[in-house]
Structure 1
Amino acid sequence: MKAKDSVGRWGATKMVDFVVKEGPDPIGYWTFDEASGQAIDTSTTDPALRNNLYLAAGAQRPATGRRGWVQTPNPHEDRALQLTNGQYANSAKPAFDTRASFTVAGWVRLDRTDGTFSMLGQSGKNFSGVAITAAAGEPWSMKMATDDTAGGNGAIRRLSGRNPAQAGVWTHVAATYSESTDLAKLYVNGQLQGQMTVTNPIASTGVMAVGAAKQSAAWSEQLPGRIDEVKAWQDEKSAEEVKQDSSLVDPATGKPRVDLAASWNLTTAGPAYTDTSGNGRALTATAGTPVTNGALVLNGSTQAATAAGPVVDDTGSFTVTAEAKLDNARLIDKPNGYKAQVMGQRTATGSSWGLWFEKTGTRTEPSEIDPTEWVTLAEGTWHFGRLTADGSGTSAVSDSPAALNTGVQLTGVHNAQDGTITLYVGAVGQAQPKAYATTVGTGDLAVGKGFTNSAWGNFLPGEIKGMRLWSGAMKDNEQVSDTVFRAGS
């Protein structure tokens, strides 16, 4: 442009960049649900406006996407971008401008955590203007560059999350920036991790990469694992809007989409049982543990089963279910207050979460077989929450006493978006959702026992079957009934 003075003389030509604010909808949205070809930008139906992604040779799109089973328009298993040997996907043009307000988000499932890996990076000339990255043993982080000259490494600002990034679990990560306040924010599983001030971010005029970031004019930090549901907006989304995106609600049903993370087939010969979800989490029972009619039959003192965990991101939304049949004869000998865990995830010293029965006492009543004889029955309630030896852990409790000697389907839901837990007995929600503070799981996922005070205990006497976990929080009785009790779910 040129300036003109009061007497009509033109000044020198100057180049000016205008940063244009877009509307509230995504300006880029990639689901990776195609079987082949480019990854289509579904933010628009106009082919001329789409910013499709090109996949590097060897990149795959297996039917292991974060949306799980998709009902419409055609029922199928959702796909995701799978990267293994240094591949990534890239756009043909910039996906968003890092000098203006923006939000970028997506789901990521690392195969391993032994290096520095980037979920995405929007590139400038030498560096990514913004990148979402996890270094070995460290949390997910947001990086923004304020110097794009060669050797400008010292001008990269970094904002890190609270908990180390985990392999083998779906995690939602989002980064936002406001040009009016210069504040950048990082969210993990819909929860704000922190903020930092970034003045004069670089102009990211290059392409966007999914699964890599630019460092010193070269693409690096290629991610091994799955990436799905990547979105970009040219405005700063609020904390509530980021939570809504991380809930992955199906617009057709209004319910969160859930992806099967683990499911075990107990019809094969043990003691190792296949994870039928395809995620490779084999369940191994204690030597000599019998299986009857697809159920582990446990003695309540030594027998249990474990799988390599965590199976889901415990700081995110998840749903867990199992059918338990309590053995009254063995529970009678347990003291009041005894907690028998159906299924749960341990931490280094205790419990991240669990489903369990807690004995509260005993009662006597006439025998159903011979009314002239009296029998003693254990009494107690079902719980979902944090198992602790002293009972101080938060839990949602069943409304009615637990049934004995019959199978009961128990489902626990952790909703990371509102920070609550809910227990379902059958398909019926118990009481109200309860506020819950998450703890990151480490080590084994256990069936039939619990880890408290740095030791295994809480063995369950009875039978357990139908153990499954999903990424995502089922919303209500209807979704629990439709999903948990649907054959093959």
Structure 2
Amino acid sequence: MPKIRFKRRLAALAVGVLLAALPMTATSAQAAGGSEPAVPTAQGFVASGKPTCSTDSSAPTLLGDTTPDLTAVVHLAAGGSPSGYLRAHFDVQARAADQTWNEKESELVPSSGFVTDGQVVTTSVRDPLTEGTLYRMAASTWSYATDGTEYVSSPSTASTSGWCYFTVDPTGPLAPVVTSGGPYTLCTADDCAAHGGPGVPGTFTFAPGEGDSGVVAYQYRFADSAWAQVSGSPATVTLTPRDSGQPLLVVQAQDATGGWGAQTQVFFKVAPPAPSVGLWHFDHGQPGDTSTAASDTATGAGDRHAAALSGTGADWTALGRRGDGDQALTLDGSAGYAATSGPVLDPAASFAVSAWVFPTDLAQDRTVLSQTGDDGSGFALRYAAGDRTWQFSYAWNDSAGTRHVAYAEAPGGADHVWTQLAGAYDSAAHTLTLYVNGRPQGSPVALPDAATARTASGDLEFGRAATADGAGSSAGYWKGLLDEVQVWQRTLSASEALQDAKLESPDNGWPGVANVAAWNASGAGGATLPDTSGYGHTLTTEGGALLDGNAIVLDGTDGAASTPGTVVDDTGSFTVTALVQPDMSVISGKPDGWTAQVVGQRSADGSAWGIWYRVAGHDDDYDPGADDPAPVPATEWLFGRVGTDGAFTGAVSQEVTIWTPGTADNPVQVTGVFDAQAGTASLYTGSDEQGTVPFTPVPGSGDLTVGKADLDGTGGSYFPGRVTSLGLWAGAMGSNGISGLNG
């Protein structure tokens, strides 16, 4: 713990003047009966709701009072006296014309007596502040010895949460009055009840401050969004919070001259998002048992809706998206589907859907999930083969009975990989949003105000959609696997869609990972190495590569192995690992910067991703049998991509191996993790994390290769060494899983 310094308060000094300091250790402070203070919280300016504080100097809080009230909550450090002898120290500074900051006022509160841990302290600025000047305020906690003669100060809020920037304007409109028309209620000092939820709109009315006149308009915003304006006074607006919690709403009034007045800042509490009204894990049956329906395990409002499997073309499979022990729904693409008995969602109101998909054939239109009324209105989450796009469609009929369809869409991905899709309809904003692997695909698609599907709708169908002619026929049968389907009777925020795509376990929070490729060369010979994951990605050797019964042996010249097509969705989270042993008899002669790929997948402009081995440089090593030092290579591991220009982006091992004579050439478990939701690439050797860096995915378009990289379509970057085993997973494996790879 750093040393603390106590300060002696000189009685002759007036309150508000900085006090002389007398050094004192923490031990001495405790002996004197004092306690270590902590940084204050809730610092800012007294307004309705919570204290207001803008830490952005370019967007200061505007106050209508030239002697504003300052506030903070003082604290003791953990383990301190339960009471304490505390005061708050407020520091106000003004920015000069030369952009320097000068002391304007220093307040010690209370001026006599003390407060205790967790108490709110408030004071007013003594001397009126000047309009047009930028000010800033910070606070610290001062803890006194029991005799009140010595104290120790906590760090200032300026060094933790930041300065509170503000200006004053006593001539503009007064701070407006803000009221809520429901479902939300404004927070007070004594009550802050949660209502509504993310995506649930609420109405708010703005009116002039008491006794104010001449207000013609208002501007308002949430703390993390841009200003919006509304004309008239009073004025009512509808606002839709994106997330749960306590959003800060900032409002200003405008007069006829165009001047903006003091701000009103209010909080209201948004309830946690309503749980899904339908959730199908597809893990309740056994292969061949099509009589067992998929259970709906959602906890949201309403009845549960089991999904019955069709008599033919639908079955259960052990290849579930959550990995070992999980199951999924498998459909044949011609007759197989599952369906509830009756509608699950009201498509006239806000709703959202999500599903994990593993297509095995995208040569024709395929439907993931749909609900269609007898008038053709409703929605579908689908793949359009002609456009090669994922689509979230919404259909409705106008007053003349003409059917219309709008789409939110994104470029389609590869088949034989797990991809997460989600669609959200916001009835208040009249927009559609499509998410792929948790990421929104472009801006929301705006719909006409009259675009509303009929409330009464058909069954929720998995793997097909009713045709628009109302004849009772279906089309777009899904071929492949479906899993983890979830529906909500509300829209989804971007952060919720991102969270949903992580597929975290409700029990331990670990992300679900599915082993989609597993190769172990122990006991293998010939030219092919089977995939034991169940997904069927057989490796075939080429050139000088061979299977010697223990490993894939790569000569570094033309030896490699490959499997057709993509194995994981490069835009989604995935994990790759290899137990690999470099052949240093070959690598020792390579120049600085030489780079070879152990395993990876090609993209249109280089590699989509790969585990790489690189000669970082050479060190001189003393050899007693030689006259001069001999250069030895220093090598490092990499996880990321190399473009056709040879430039690497990704994670690099922190540790560099210098291959001095006698260095053990042991196999290394090298693991790469791409977390699509976090946008990062991580590299591990053994169980040790070597680095995590921002990483932007590039979709793969070619074979997965071992021992080489097709950077320009002709092959190259050959790796010399032995690869004992390899594995790939859909999903970002956590540290617990990575530790298990080395067990």
Contact 1:332 1:362 in 2 (8 A): no
Q: In the alignment, what sits opposite 2:371?
A: 122
Q: 1:462 to 1:144 in 2, by over 3 A?
A: same
The match for 1:466 among 687, 707, 725 is: 725
1:257 is displaced (CA, Å) by 0.8
The match for 2:643 among 388, 399, 414 is: 388
Q: Give the letter aligned to residue 38 of structure 1.
A: A
Q: Which has the higher contact order (CA 8 A, sep 6+)?
A: 1
Q: In the alignment, what sits opposite 1:15?
A: none
Contact 2:595 2:613 in 1 (8 A): yes
Q: Structure 1 residue 214 and structure 2 residue 466: aligned?
A: yes
Q: Structure 1 residue 256 and structure 2 residue 491: aligned?
A: no
- For residues 188-227 of structure 1, the aligned pairs below 5 Å read 188-194=436-442, 195-198=444-447, 199=449, 200-203=451-454, 205-216=457-468, 217=470, 218-227=473-482
- For residues 47-446 of structure 1, the aligned pairs below 5 Å read 49-58=303-312, 59-69=314-324, 77-84=325-332, 85-127=334-376, 129-136=378-385, 138-147=388-397, 152=402, 155-161=404-410, 163-194=411-442, 195-198=444-447, 199=449, 200-203=451-454, 205-216=457-468, 217=470, 218-266=473-521, 267-365=523-621, 372=625, 377-388=632-643, 390-402=645-657, 405-431=665-691, 433-446=692-705
Partner-residue secondary structure (3-state), 1:256 = coil
Q: 1:299 to 1:53 in 2, by over 3 A?
A: same
| TM-score normalised by length of structure 2 | 0.58
Q: Deviations over 1:328-378 (max 9, x none)?
A: 1111222211111110000134110011011122234367xxx75776532
1:246 is displaced (CA, Å) by 0.6
- For residues 439-458 of structure 1, the aligned pairs below 5 Å read 439-458=698-717
Distance of 1:475 and 1:429 partners within structure 2: 11
Contact 1:128 1:214 in 2 (8 A): no
Contact 2:545 2:558 in 1 (8 A): no
Q: 1:379 to 1:152 in 2, by over 3 A?
A: farther
1:323 is displaced (CA, Å) by 1.4
Contact 2:545 2:559 in 1 (8 A): yes
1:283 is displaced (CA, Å) by 0.4
Distance of 1:138 and 1:151 partners within structure 2: 30
Q: Deviations over 1:212-242 (max 9, x none)?
A: 1122223210100100000010111111111
Distance of 1:366 and 1:38 partners within structure 2: 72
Distance of 2:400 and 2:532 partners within structure 1: 49
Q: In the alignment, what sits opposite 1:10?
A: none
Q: Give the letter aligned to residue 474 of structure 1.
A: M
Contact 1:314 1:440 in 2 (8 A): yes
Q: Deviations over 1:117-171 (max 9, x none)?
A: 0101011114351101112261211110022899955x1111111x323210010
Distance of 1:151 and 1:286 partners within structure 2: 62
Q: 1:221 to 1:434 in 2, by over 3 A?
A: same
Higher mean C-alpha displacement, 194-203 vs 324-333? 194-203
Distance of 2:742 and 2:667 partners within structure 1: 14
Contact 1:126 1:148 in 2 (8 A): no
Distance of 2:535 and 2:668 partners within structure 1: 26
Q: 1:425 to 1:160 in 2, by over 3 A?
A: same
Q: 1:269 to 1:176 in 2, by over 3 A?
A: same
Distance of 1:464 and 1:275 partners within structure 2: 15
Alignment RMSD (CA, Å): 2.4
Larger Rg: 2
Q: Give the letter aligned to residue 165 of structure 1.
A: G
Q: In the alignment, what sits opposite 2:282?
A: 32
Distance of 2:611 and 2:722 partners within structure 1: 14
Contact 1:134 1:165 in 2 (8 A): no
Higher mean C-alpha displacement, 168-177 vs 196-205? 196-205
Q: Give the letter aligned to residue 305 of structure 2.
A: N
1:287 is displaced (CA, Å) by 4.7
Instruction: Figure out how many residues of one structure are paired with residues of the other and give that number.
Output: 451
Distance of 2:606 and 2:329 partners within structure 1: 35
Q: Deviations over 1:268-319 (max 9, x none)?
A: 3321111111111110011552223531111111101001121010000000
1:44 is displaced (CA, Å) by 4.1
| TM-score normalised by length of structure 1 | 0.87
Partner-residue secondary structure (3-state), 2:316 = coil
Contact 2:686 2:742 in 1 (8 A): no
Distance of 1:312 and 1:42 partners within structure 2: 28
Contact 1:125 1:148 in 2 (8 A): no
Distance of 1:475 and 1:265 partners within structure 2: 22
Partner-residue secondary structure (3-state), 2:737 = helix
Contact 2:633 2:658 in 1 (8 A): no
Distance of 2:391 and 2:648 partners within structure 1: 30
Specify every segment of 5 or more residues in structure 2 that has no aligned partner in the other structure, as ranges: 1-199, 202-271, 660-664
Distance of 1:128 and 1:289 partners within structure 2: 57
Distance of 1:139 and 1:485 partners within structure 2: 40
Distance of 2:377 and 2:338 partners within structure 1: 15
Runs of 4+ aligned residues of structure 1 deviating over 6 Å after TM superposition are: 20-23, 148-151
